[in-house]
Amino acid sequence: MTQLSAWLARLPGNADITQPLIAVGIALLLHAMAYGLARLLAPRIRERLPALSELASTHVRPMLRHAISAPLFATALALWPADSIAHLILGAALAFAVALFALHLLQALSFPRWAITPLALLLFVMVISGSSGGIAPVGSMLDDVALTLGKRRISLLDLLSVAATLVALLAGIRLANRLIRRSIQKAPDLDPTQKLLGQKLAGIAVIIAAFFIGIDILGIDLTAFTVFSGALGLAVGFGLQKTVGNLIAGIILLMDRSIKPGDVIAVGDSFGWVSKIGVRAVSIITRDGKKHLIPNENLMTQEVENWSYSDRNIRVRIPVGISNDSDIALAQQLMLEAAEESPRALKHPEPKVWLTALGQYRLEHEIRVWINDPENGVGGVTSDVLMRVLDKFKAQGIIVPYPRQIIELRQPQDRHDPAMNEPDISDHSPS
């Protein structure tokens, strides 16, 4: 550094102008080098690390560019003599690179911009202050702005430290959850239910680990949580009982695999396809496109009809009636053909037609077809089969009867008719 200082002192012209220009040129050169390396390495990183590419597809190159430029700026800053405008320019370049790297990383983790921008500005100020040797005065100034609550003194520096720690922990939690989720999804030996259970348990473990890491970083005494833990226990016992119950019920549902994502279930008046098993509720998408959220506890305590628990094939029963004087064999053959021609009806198991009852005015039949897409409902296949049956019946002259009632009208006898009360003379005539 002494040789660099001597070389800078021998430069012609005004040093107050020459050195800042050289620093700006060095900063631009290092930025161009980082840009070229990022452009060269980004495709290879996407190939070698698909998890990172999936996590931040549009942010890989800028994150790589700033991650390369930051150590280059730090090296130039360490070699440049301190207490000069040129040193401040290189420090600003380093702070700019660090702040932009944090900005792109948090954007990739889906943090809102209103929370990212103040953090990036704070990081910029801290890095540029530290590079110029002025972070201690800044820290002292922030620590002087304080508020005393009882025996506790809370300064602005403490609040900023807590906020920065929380943001860093949240970013770590989201990054870890996404990487773990992708790793579990790629596991070939796990079924969808086991994958979902692994993701939920891993997410809970990551949150617990982040909590204790944050406690250690902030230097909070765990004994201070004794009162808080008691209050939390009371809150769970009274106000959060349902929430904790739903959480445990969701874990049990995933462990016993009675309900899995993709199953078609019916709970009360709700019928649909299970799209997600969450911490609090199960999300069901109905045939109307509506999403019903059913608490996990309800699925543990109420009767649930799972149409695809062990097999996705379900049988649909379609009642059909024909008149008593119809050709039964022909009608059954036409009904069987209509079921076989329906596109959603399976060939194996094959459709069946059964005579189920001898009604008052018609012969009751039942067409039984199998389908393997219960999430699409049963109304469509029922309507399709019945339309085909009607067309075939009309072509062959088979009648679908309608209810009939025979009403017999009788003339009542008049009890006050004189003819009815007239005596029979033939029976009582004298001999």
In CATH, what number is assigned to the domain containing residue 336? 3.30.70.100
Residues 73 and 104 in one domain: yes
pLDDT, tens digit (0-9, with 9 covering 90-100), for 302-337: 888 887 776 778 889 999 999 888 889 999 999 999
pLDDT score of 357 more than 70? yes
Residues 58 and 136 in one domain: yes
Looking at residue 330, what is its pLDDT? 92
Mean pLDDT of the 289-299 span: 84
Residues 385 and 298 in one domain: no
Residues 41 and 72 in one domain: yes
User: Which one is predicted more confidently, 16 or 251?
Assistant: 251
- Name the domain count of the chain: 3
pLDDT, tens digit (0-9, with 9 covering 90-100), for 216-238: 777 776 665 666 666 666 666 66
Identify whether the C-beta of residue 321 lies closer than 8 Å to the C-beta of residue 362: yes
pLDDT score of 426 more than 90? no
pLDDT score of 187 more than 80? no
pLDDT score of 82 more than 70? no
Looking at residue 429, what is its pLDDT? 44
Average confidence score pLDDT of the chain? 77
Residues 298 and 338 in one domain: no
pLDDT score of 27 more than 60? yes
Distance CA(321)–CA(354), nearest Å, equals 11
Mean pLDDT of the 48-75 span: 74
Provide the pLDDT confidence category of residue 37 given band limits of 50, 70 and 90.
confident
User: Which one is predicted more confidently, 149 or 30?
Assistant: 30
Residues 63 and 115 in one domain: yes
Task: Answer whether residue 293 is part of any domain.
Answer: yes
Task: Answer whether residue 425 is part of any domain.
Answer: no
> Pick from 243, 277, 310: which residue ends a domain?
310
Provide the pLDDT confidence category of residue 358 given band limits of 50, 70 and 90.
confident
Looking at residue 142, what is its pLDDT? 63
Looking at residue 257, what is its pLDDT? 74
365 Cβ partners below 8 Å, 6+ apart?
319, 320, 321, 322, 331, 332, 335, 353, 354, 355, 356
Tokens representing residue 187 in the block: 């596991």
> Pick from 290, 310, 330: which residue ends a domain?
310
Looking at residue 430, what is its pLDDT? 44
pLDDT score of 76 more than 50? yes
Provide the pLDDT confidence category of residue 411 given band limits of 50, 70 and 90.
confident
Looking at residue 64, what is its pLDDT? 84
Task: Answer whether residue 353 is part of any domain.
Answer: yes
pLDDT, tens digit (0-9, with 9 covering 90-100), for 99-120: 888 887 777 777 777 667 777 7
pLDDT, tens digit (0-9, with 9 covering 90-100), for 188-212: 777 776 777 787 778 888 888 888 8
Residues 105 and 235 in one domain: no
Burial class (CB in 10 A: 0-12, 13-18, 19+), 2: exposed
Instruction: Kindly state the percentage of the chain with pLDDT values over 70.
Output: 75
Residues 361 and 232 in one domain: no
pLDDT score of 75 more than 70? yes
For the ranges 137-151, 179-193, 197-211, the lowest mean pLDDT is seen at 137-151
Looking at residue 225, what is its pLDDT? 62
Looking at residue 1, what is its pLDDT? 47
Looking at residue 338, what is its pLDDT? 93
Distance CA(295)–CA(301), nearest Å, equals 10
Task: Answer whether residue 388 is part of any domain.
Answer: yes
Residues 259 and 362 in one domain: no
User: Which one is predicted more confidently, 174 or 32?
Assistant: 32
Looking at residue 415, what is its pLDDT? 55
Task: Answer whether residue 185 is part of any domain.
Answer: no
Neighbours of 251 (CB within 10 A): 17
Residues 235 and 334 in one domain: no
User: Which one is predicted more confidently, 382 or 223?
Assistant: 382
Residues 233 and 255 in one domain: yes
> Pick from 288, 310, 332: which residue ends a domain?
310
Task: Answer whether residue 217 is part of any domain.
Answer: no
Provide the pLDDT confidence category of residue 14 given band limits of 50, 70 and 90.
very low
Residues spanned by the domain of 268:
225-310
For the ranges 239-253, 324-338, 344-358, the lowest mean pLDDT is seen at 239-253
C-alpha neighbours within 13 Å on the C-beta side of residue 331 = 23
Spatial strand order in the sheet of 270-277? 291-295, 281-285, 270-277, 264-267, 305-306
pLDDT score of 68 more than 90? no
Task: Answer whether residue 164 is part of any domain.
Answer: no
Position 11, amino acid: L
Residues 17 and 137 in one domain: yes
Q: Which residue has the tokens 């019945």?
A: 386
CATH number of domain containing 244:
2.30.30.60
Looking at residue 141, what is its pLDDT? 62
Task: Answer whether residue 156 is part of any domain.
Answer: no
Looking at residue 240, what is its pLDDT? 66
